[in-house]
Amino acid sequence: MKSTSKIIAGLTLTALLIACTEHQPINTPVVSTPVKPQAQSRPIYTPPINPLGERTVEDILQIYGEYTTRKLNTYFAKAKVSFPPKAITLVALKQEKKLELWARDNAEFRLIHTYGIQAASGVAGPKLRMGDKQVPEGIYHIDGLNPNSHYHLSMKLNYPNEFDLFHAVQEGRTEPGSDIFIHGRAVSIGCLAMGDEIIEELFILTTQVGAENVKVVIAPHDPRAYPLTADSAQLPLWTTELYADISREINTLSAPVKSAKSMGSAAMLH
């Protein structure tokens, strides 16, 4: 019995040793492959420490400035425009949901980059009253920068401008609306929502150029594709004048691009 037990114990031990060796790592030669350098990721916001516990424009420059400026420099280099430029014009096309960035240094305006608009509420036609959820149409300027927006960052437009106010008074509209922004995120109730990373670019660029050197033109659709016409009975009569002004602004910007294209050059296209 003892010899039988020894034999059984010996067989069991041998089986366990074989089982363990089946899961041992196999020695294989290690081949090292070069790792492609990763592009620098977008910085994550860390709230700065200051007495009010709020961000300032300087905070935004410190957080996003270096990363964003490198991207902007790439756009401007391709368009052959010095950075930072002397002036910029943002052309927002509501139907196409596009925002074009135009800029100039010592020469004519050139198209630098085209962004997608993430959200823009309303339909074709100017903004007339508070709560109509319309993105306004017209020629505007940047009235202020908000580094503490509920929509990440925002840039306030000077709506209603003199044109808007004049016609509101003429028609007895006492509340034409206000607080129209270009901002981050992807939701709109009368503003242009650009998404967070794009508003960072526009915000940083505006601080570098100066808000006084930024023009914003908002159109119902691209007048270079087909004319802007006030063909709806619901639109005010003065919309024809407004659309003529908008078309003139956009077509003046685009003239150099059309000229270059006709000569077979795509140097200024992006």
Summarised one tens digit per residue, pLDDT across range 188-198 is: 999 999 999 99
Assigned domain for 9 exists: no
Distance CA(214)–CA(206), nearest Å, equals 7
Per-residue pLDDT, averaged over 88-92, amounts to: 98
User: Over 50: is that where the pLDDT of 32 sits?
Assistant: no
Assigned domain for 194 exists: yes
pLDDT band at 31 (very low <50, low <70, confident <90, very high): very low
CB 137 within 8 A of CB 218: yes
State yes or no: is 191 an active-site residue: yes
Assigned domain for 42 exists: no
Assigned domain for 7 exists: no
Confidence at residue 44, expressed as pLDDT on a 0 to 100 scale:
55
State yes or no: is 152 an active-site residue: no
Distance CA(145)–CA(147), nearest Å, equals 6
Domains held by the chain: number: 1
Catalytic one of 152, 191, 221, 270: 191
Distance CA(93)–CA(82), nearest Å, equals 26
CB 244 within 8 A of CB 223: no
User: Over 90: is that where the pLDDT of 116 sits?
Assistant: yes
Tokens in use for 104? 């100039």
Distance CA(46)–CA(135), nearest Å, equals 32
Assigned domain for 24 exists: no
Assigned domain for 35 exists: no
pLDDT band at 107 (very low <50, low <70, confident <90, very high): confident
Distance CA(137)–CA(126), nearest Å, equals 5
Per-residue pLDDT, averaged over 48-75, amounts to: 85
Confidence at residue 228, expressed as pLDDT on a 0 to 100 scale:
96
pLDDT band at 234 (very low <50, low <70, confident <90, very high): confident
Q: Enumerate the H helices of the chain as residue ranges.
A: 2-21, 57-79, 162-171, 196-209, 239-262
Confidence at residue 43, expressed as pLDDT on a 0 to 100 scale:
61
Name the residue with tokens 């005010």: 236
Sign of CA dihedral 80, 82, 88, 90: positive
Confidence at residue 202, expressed as pLDDT on a 0 to 100 scale:
98
Confidence at residue 232, expressed as pLDDT on a 0 to 100 scale:
80
Assigned domain for 70 exists: yes
DSSP state of 202: H
Three-state SS sequence of 38-56: CCCCCCCCCCCCCCCCCCC
CB 151 within 8 A of CB 181: yes
Assigned domain for 14 exists: no
Distance CA(238)–CA(6), nearest Å, equals 108
- Domain span holding position 228: 57-262
Q: Which has the minimum average pLDDT: 42-51, 62-71, 250-259?
A: 42-51
The CATH number of whichever domain residue 192 belongs to comes to 2.40.440.10
CB 84 within 8 A of CB 69: no
Catalytic one of 113, 152, 167, 183: 183
- Rounded (5°) CA angle 164-155-254: 70
pTM of the complete model beyond 0.85: no
